[in-house]
Chain A
């Protein structure tokens, strides 16, 4: 059973990662920086619980705020960079964050051991969960409260004028401006919210793996973050969730069947998926079909 709880934890964290890229993607900004915000949230929350002895919940909160602030700071210069250049710029930003933590030392003594981030060695002993007697089930439930809250928030956005404005900007910036939408406010706010979501995800990630290091936040993670909403489809938050389950289930189950070949086939799988369903698993048609299926069931 523990295995499945562990899997659920992994899916939860990756869903948050994917959702942080999702909201930014809606506005037409392709961001590879989400792994960077994820890292900021992870290190911040970790340092607060380990070095300052805080409880996890406020630590997560501050982690989210710091990530959001970082994202906001990135959001403004990002306005000046268009299209594919933004992909490169955010990629570089994510790498810069990773390199920053690669060189980051901040240790204090606790008893006779030193705790805290230590450059390339990473940040070990983030033991809030074990030290407070949390079992795998409790950790999973705790995480999923956050995941569900975030999904609910984004689902609400999608149905509100804010979400409609996000998508309008993503579709046609010129027309959006012409109807009175403030591009700066929309794009930067989306980046900020994305940063906050990544920050929460990062904080949770740090505590459930208990050990983070710079390589946990590399380009691969950044591309995974982007892959989930793209492969899942941008029409709905559920697309991202489905993509995460699909990908993680493949990777983990695949390990059993395919062993060493799974990473290779994973790359091939993405290529295939994009050729077969360029608009994602849950694209507009699939979503419409699902909706019809549900309403038919209700009317029957």
Chain B
């Protein structure tokens, strides 16, 4: 029983990173009604870019690396926007989908190139701290990961609901043509959406690297799949859905691993997705505006 609770608690804490990735996918979908398959790759890319800080300043503190990953994620997000969404006409959704696949491959290969495919160690903070809550052990670094992720989510929600940019973003996601007619610069909103989700992605990648202790280009594919699963379970376009689904998937994943081991774990995560697709295809929080 204790093992089970421990697995759940560790999983949920780690799941906050999945939530961030899920938010990234879902926000782009909500605003542009398009899928950015390159997102998880860009997040991992941002995390790797964070390591450049260590290249420049050998003993740099981990939070500086995280900050750099955060910023790099934003830059990568904008690059993905430019290469996949800015020039391709709206009437060609397949083209944008394929373009994001191309970017996914490109980013992956750039990472492999510069690291020769070897995993790189990633700095963590408070990894030697262990808090106890009753019988459960809470790893310090996971708590930090969870904390930072929560901060980012709060920041995003504040942005969306308390700023003009956020208002414009929500307007565009609901009625992009009307928003344009009201004078909202849709192109700018779209670009900013990518930058913001890119920032989130960069920090998510860094947090994942921090909790695992290392980054590897092999991370991209499972992260893309899990991120998409989180998005679907949460409901495409719903941020609260992505948050809850992320924690859910993190928790379930760890529990599956406890009972069936690492090799079968992912298969069960798929099954979880299929259960949702059969019983609740709209996800936990079905989006009310379904115009696709």
Q: Which residues of A contact B (CB under 8 A)?
A: 25, 30, 77, 80-85, 87-89, 91-93, 95-96, 99-100, 102-103, 120, 218-220, 223, 226-227, 230-231, 260-261, 263-264, 266-271, 273-275, 278-279
Contact A274 B102 (CB under 8 A): yes
Among A83, A89, A91, A227, point to the contact of B292 (Cβ < 8 A): A83
- Distance of A124 from chain B, by nearest CB (Å): 19
Contact B99 A275 (CB under 8 A): yes
- Distance of B216 from chain A, by nearest CB (Å): 16
A102, closest chain B residue (CB)? B263
Among B103, B113, B232, point to the contact of A89 (Cβ < 8 A): B232
Contact B273 A92 (CB under 8 A): yes
Contact A270 B99 (CB under 8 A): yes
Chain B residues with Cβ under 8 A from A77's Cβ?
A: 277-278
Chain A residues with Cβ under 8 A from B101's Cβ?
A: 223, 226-227, 270
Among A25, A88, A263, point to the contact of B232 (Cβ < 8 A): A88
Chain A residues with Cβ under 8 A from B97's Cβ?
A: 30, 87, 230
Nearest first, the 5 A-B pairs at minimum CB distance are A270-B102, A267-B106, A267-B105, A278-B95, A278-B92
- Complex formed: what's the CA distance from A11 to B106 in Å? 23
Find the residue from A268, A271, A275 having the highest chain B CB count within 10 A. Answer: A271
User: Using an 8 Å CB-CB cutoff, how does the interface string of B94-118 with A read, 1 for contact, 0 for none?
Assistant: 1111110111111111101100000
Contact B102 A267 (CB under 8 A): yes
Name the interface size band of chain B.
Answer: 35 or more
**Given A92-B270, A278-B89: 5 more A-B contacts, CB < 8 Å:** A84-B292, A88-B35, A102-B263, A230-B98, A279-B92
B105, closest chain A residue (CB)? A267
Determine if B221 is an interface residue (Cβ-Cβ < 8 Å).
yes
Take A88-B229, A264-B110 as given contacts and tell me if A230 and B102 are in contact as well, using a CB distance cutoff of 8 Å.
no
- Complex formed: what's the CA distance from A88 to B228 in Å? 6
- Complex formed: what's the CA distance from A264 to B83 in Å? 15
Sampled A-B contacts (25; CB under 8 Å) = A81-B277, A82-B290, A83-B292, A84-B34, A88-B229, A92-B225, A92-B274, A93-B270, A95-B266, A95-B270, A96-B271, A99-B267, A120-B263, A219-B224, A230-B95, A260-B113, A263-B109, A267-B105, A267-B106, A269-B102, A270-B105, A273-B102, A274-B96, A274-B98, A278-B88
- Distance of B277 from chain A, by nearest CB (Å): 6
- Complex formed: what's the CA distance from A96 to B268 in Å? 9
Contact A91 B99 (CB under 8 A): no
- Complex formed: what's the CA distance from A275 to B83 in Å? 8
Q: Which residues of B contact A (CB under 8 A)?
A: 29, 33-35, 83-84, 87-89, 92, 94-99, 101-110, 112-113, 221, 224-225, 228-229, 231-232, 236, 263-264, 266-267, 270-271, 273-274, 277-278, 281, 290, 292
- Distance of B263 from chain A, by nearest CB (Å): 6
Find the residue from A30, A77, A85, A96 having the highest chain B CB count within 10 A. Answer: A85
- Distance of B35 from chain A, by nearest CB (Å): 5
Chain B residues with Cβ under 8 A from A89's Cβ?
A: 232, 273-274, 277
- Distance of A102 from chain B, by nearest CB (Å): 7
- Complex formed: what's the CA distance from A141 to B278 in Å? 43
- Complex formed: what's the CA distance from A9 to B134 in Å? 63
- Complex formed: what's the CA distance from A67 to B109 in Å? 32
Among B95, B267, B281, point to the contact of A96 (Cβ < 8 A): B267
Chain A residues with Cβ under 8 A from B112's Cβ?
A: 263
- Distance of B38 from chain A, by nearest CB (Å): 9
- Complex formed: what's the CA distance from A269 to B102 in Å? 8
Chain A residues with Cβ under 8 A from B89's Cβ?
A: 278
Contact B232 A267 (CB under 8 A): no
B113, closest chain A residue (CB)? A264
Among B99, B105, B229, point to the contact of A263 (Cβ < 8 A): B105
Chain B residues with Cβ under 8 A from A25's Cβ?
A: 94
Contact B87 A275 (CB under 8 A): yes
Chain A residues with Cβ under 8 A from B35's Cβ?
A: 84, 87-88
Contact A271 B225 (CB under 8 A): no
Contact A274 B110 (CB under 8 A): no
Contact A91 B225 (CB under 8 A): yes
A234, closest chain B residue (CB)? B94
Take A103-B263, A260-B113, A267-B106 as given contacts and tell me if A274 and B99 are in contact as well, using a CB distance cutoff of 8 Å.
yes
Contact A85 B236 (CB under 8 A): yes
Contact A91 B221 (CB under 8 A): no
Among A81, A87, A100, point to the contact of B267 (Cβ < 8 A): A100
- Distance of A167 from chain B, by nearest CB (Å): 14
Contact A279 B292 (CB under 8 A): no
Chain A residues with Cβ under 8 A from B110's Cβ?
A: 264
Chain B residues with Cβ under 8 A from A95's Cβ?
A: 225, 266, 270
Contact A270 B232 (CB under 8 A): no
B87, closest chain A residue (CB)? A275
Contact A85 B83 (CB under 8 A): no
- Complex formed: what's the CA distance from A279 to B232 in Å? 28
- Distance of B105 from chain A, by nearest CB (Å): 3
Contact B103 A267 (CB under 8 A): yes
- Complex formed: what's the CA distance from A276 to B231 in Å? 30
A80, closest chain B residue (CB)? B281
Take A99-B270, A230-B98 as given contacts and tell me if A84 and B281 are in contact as well, using a CB distance cutoff of 8 Å.
no
- Distance of A23 from chain B, by nearest CB (Å): 15
A96, closest chain B residue (CB)? B270
Among A83, A91, A227, point to the contact of B228 (Cβ < 8 A): A91
